[in-house]
Amino acid sequence: QEGEPIYLAVKGVVFDVTSGKEFYGKGAPYNALVGKDSTRGVAKMSLDPADLTHDITGLTEEELKSLDDIFNNVYKAKYPIVGYTSRRILNEDGSPNLDFKPEDQPHFNIKDEF
């Protein structure tokens, strides 16, 4: 919706990409990535609906390196972190993941919910 924030997740980290609405907004080239964890699509540089998932199973070493580069040099460098997906902060049984470490970004402060 016009005027609403635009969020996308990569590696379980939710970014506010609203400032890049020409890339991520309605009708924009990367709009397929928003509203979900699109880690696999980012790694493969793919907008195929089958790749718009958090699952990185079977990615090549080159794709994993590309993912890390884009995650750090584009998303973390350019867009504010607004949260995390449940897969990032919870274990499969729903209990808190005590090994969870928030991303280092100076303007983000996670609440201690646990």
Print the domain residue range for 59: 7-103
Among 84, 81, 80, smallest CA distance to 96 is for 84
pTM: 0.84
Sort residue 112 into left (φ over 0), alpha (ψ -120 to 50) or beta: beta
Higher pLDDT, 87 or 79: 79
What is the total count of domains within the chain? 1
Please write the tens of the pLDDT for every residue from 104-113: 655 555 555 4
Q: Is residue 40 part of a domain?
A: yes
Q: Is residue 97 part of a domain?
A: yes
Q: Is residue 112 part of a domain?
A: no
User: Which pair of tokens denotes residue 53?
Assistant: 């998932």
Q: Is the pLDDT of residue 89 over 90?
A: no
Q: Is residue 71 part of a domain?
A: yes
Q: Is residue 1 part of a domain?
A: no
Residue 114 has a pLDDT of: 42
Please write the tens of the pLDDT for every residue from 32-68: 999 999 999 999 999 999 999 999 999 999 999 999 9
Q: Is residue 64 part of a domain?
A: yes
**Is the sign of the CA dihedral 101, 111, 86, 80 positive or negative?**
negative
Q: Is residue 26 part of a domain?
A: yes
CATH code of the domain in which 29 resides:
3.10.120.10
Q: What count of Cα atoms within 13 Å lies in the side-chain half-sphere of residue 74?
A: 14
Q: Is residue 109 part of a domain?
A: no
